[in-house]
């Protein structure tokens, strides 16, 4: 059976399904076939839900034939990161600690996807407890980058990035605390969207850091990201951090172009210590936006930007250690060494340092809001370097050695700290054939504008390339 449908985005599949030119069963079978072909190499899944997916696809087909089409995600095969609860399906968070954990309720995002008629094909691999940048998972095996199997897909949502890139699902949910959706999307050559903090519910998600966790999505196109966000966004009474602000129609203006929009370019920090190929390609991509009618504005971000990585990890380490304290007391030996090390570091952070980090975070957010009054979006690289080989702990960027765990999150963590929405859009390949990505950051709860900018860039450039897996 051909697998060609598995390579198409939601935006192309949905009209075919709604008009009954293809069936959800046909599509799901092709995606499952693709999983069987790719998984021995990629290892994007922890749990495959083959029979359940076929049953859900059959139910979707019956509903559509009966005239009950639910919208663009109806009958679309989707993967779910394995720290997001699905009732009755084990949710391991990529750890031996929760290897037998079977939740008795769905995450709110899963409930909303179910209501939209999606087909869930499996639970995706991840860095253990979402606590890392590589998805070199010691319990379930490393996930491999579909563009080159010797390289990392990024983390912590590495399974989500790799599965969408390898067409082992049409879309995927992930989670992002300091860059864990957009980094894998960038390294795997697909689209990542981290919404504003509070735009999407975290209920039913195993936390890493309560005040910084976001549920995000990985997609094949910018329009697909808009459609996925439309489905899961909005207030949730089970999550007090969610906003009651109305959810707009994210696709209504997505094709309107960007003429007259102000594109902020923060060269300091984002264009200094960076791989030359990445810098060159992102600069070219910014010029594309200018050629499309956007107005470039050179901006300087707040001084706290230099502290954003330190502030982020002071908060993350503290909050993660607080959550894991009872689990560590029972099952310390089941944690992987890197996660156990991070948890130990978090236990050593004082309340004084944690509160100081939160105060500086507030100051940074307020200062960044003032910058955003000057522009409509900010445009930066998503990561300073292409993917590194699996097992490498350090990367050399412009002659300077840096830990992979720091380099991969250096450009994303400032916007997790501020809670702003960010979009990662593929913008080219290195000479070695590894993806390069551009990051678009917007004002709080203005996902519509970053999606509009991303879509304009996508429409003006070639995005038909696929990994030769």
Q: Which of 29, 48, 81, 123 is catalytic?
A: 81
Pairing between strand 435-442 and 422-429?
antiparallel
Instruction: Kindly list the distances between the CA atom of residue 461 and the CA atoms of 125, 149, 285, 364, 431, in Å, as whole numbers in the listed order.
Output: 31, 26, 9, 34, 18
Tokens of 21: 């030119």
Q: Which of 180, 285, 312, 321 is catalytic?
A: 180
HSE at residue 6, side-chain half, CA atoms within 13 A, is 24
Instruction: Kindly list the distances between the CA atom of residue 254 and the CA atoms of 8, 263, 382, 456, in Å, as whole numbers in the listed order.
Output: 19, 16, 21, 8
Q: Which of 156, 308, 312, 318 is catalytic?
A: 156
Query: Is 209 within 8 Å of 346 (Cβ atoms)?
Result: no
Beta bridge partners of 123: 47, 80
User: How many C-beta neighbours within 10 Å does residue 330 have?
Assistant: 9
Q: Establish whether 321 is a catalytic residue.
A: no
Q: Establish whether 11 is a catalytic residue.
A: no
Listed in order, strand segments (DSSP E) in 313-456 are 377-381, 394-397, 400-403, 422-429, 435-442
Instruction: Kindly list the distances between the CA atom of residue 52 and the CA atoms of 58, 63, 102, 169, 180, in Å, as whole numbers in the listed order.
Output: 10, 17, 16, 15, 28
Q: Please choose, from the candidates 435, 428, 84, the residue with its C-alpha nearest in 3D space to the C-alpha of residue 285.
A: 428
Q: What's the CA gap between 125 and 147, in Å, rounded?
A: 17
Beta bridge partners of 218: 172, 192
Q: Establish whether 279 is a catalytic residue.
A: no
Active centre residues (catalytic):
81, 156, 180
């Amino acid at each position: 059976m051909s697998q060609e449908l598995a390579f198409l985005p939601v935006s192309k599949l949905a009209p075919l399904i709604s008009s009954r030119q293809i069936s959800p069963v046909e599509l799901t079978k092709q995606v499952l076939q693709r999983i069987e072909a790719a998984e021995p190499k990629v290892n994007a899944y922890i749990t495959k839900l083959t029979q359940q997916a076929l049953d859900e696809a059959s139910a979707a087909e019956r509903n559509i034939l009966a005239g009950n089409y639910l919208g663009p995600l109806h009958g679309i095969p989707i993967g779910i990161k394995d720290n997001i609860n699905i009732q009755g399906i084990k949710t391991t968070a990529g750890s031996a600690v929760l290897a037998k954990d079977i939740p008795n309720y769905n995450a709110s995002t899963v409930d909303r996807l179910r209501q939209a008629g999606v087909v869930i094909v499996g639970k995706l691999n991840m860095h253990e407890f979402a606590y890392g940048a590589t998805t070199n998972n010691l319990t379930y095996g490393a996930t491999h980058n579909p563009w080159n199997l010797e390289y990392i897909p990024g983390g912590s949502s590495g399974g989500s990035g790799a599965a969408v890139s390898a067409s082992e699902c049409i879309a995927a949910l992930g989670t992002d605390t300091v860059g864990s959706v957009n980094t894998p999307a960038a390294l795997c050559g697909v689209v990542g969207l981290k919404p504003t903090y509070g735009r999407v519910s975290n209920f039913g998600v195993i936390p890493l850091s309560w005040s910084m966790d976001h549920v995000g999505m990985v997609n094949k196109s910018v329009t697909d990201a808009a459609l996925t966000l439309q489905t899961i966004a909005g207030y949730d009474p089970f999550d007090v951090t969610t906003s009651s602000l109305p959810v707009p129609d994210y696709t209504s203006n997505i094709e309107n172009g960007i003429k007259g929009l102000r594109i902020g370019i923060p060269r300091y920090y984002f264009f200094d210590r960076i791989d030359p190929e990445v810098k060159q390609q992102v600069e070219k991509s910014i010029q594309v936006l200018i050629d499309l009618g956007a107005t470039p504005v050179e901006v300087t971000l707040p001084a706290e930007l230099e502290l954003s990585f330190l502030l982020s990890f002071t908060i993350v380490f503290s909050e993660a250690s607080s959550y894991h304290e009872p689990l560590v007391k029972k099952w310390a030996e089941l944690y992987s060494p890197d996660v156990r090390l991070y948890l130990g570091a978090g236990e050593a952070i004082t309340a004084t340092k944690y509160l100081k980090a939160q105060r500086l975070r507030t100051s940074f957010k307020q200062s960044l809001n003032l910058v955003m009054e000057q522009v409509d979006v900010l445009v930066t690289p998503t990561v300073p370097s292409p993917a590194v080989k699996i097992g490498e702990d350090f990367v050399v960027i412009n002659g300077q050695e840096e830990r992979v765990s720091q380099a991969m999150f250096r450009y994303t963590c400032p916007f997790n700290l501020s809670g702003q929405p960010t979009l990662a859009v593929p913008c080219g390949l290195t000479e070695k054939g590894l993806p390069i990505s551009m990051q678009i950051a917007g004002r709080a709860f203005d996902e519509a504008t970053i999606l509009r900018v991303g879509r304009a860039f996508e429409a003006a450039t070639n995005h038909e390339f696929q990994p030769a897996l």
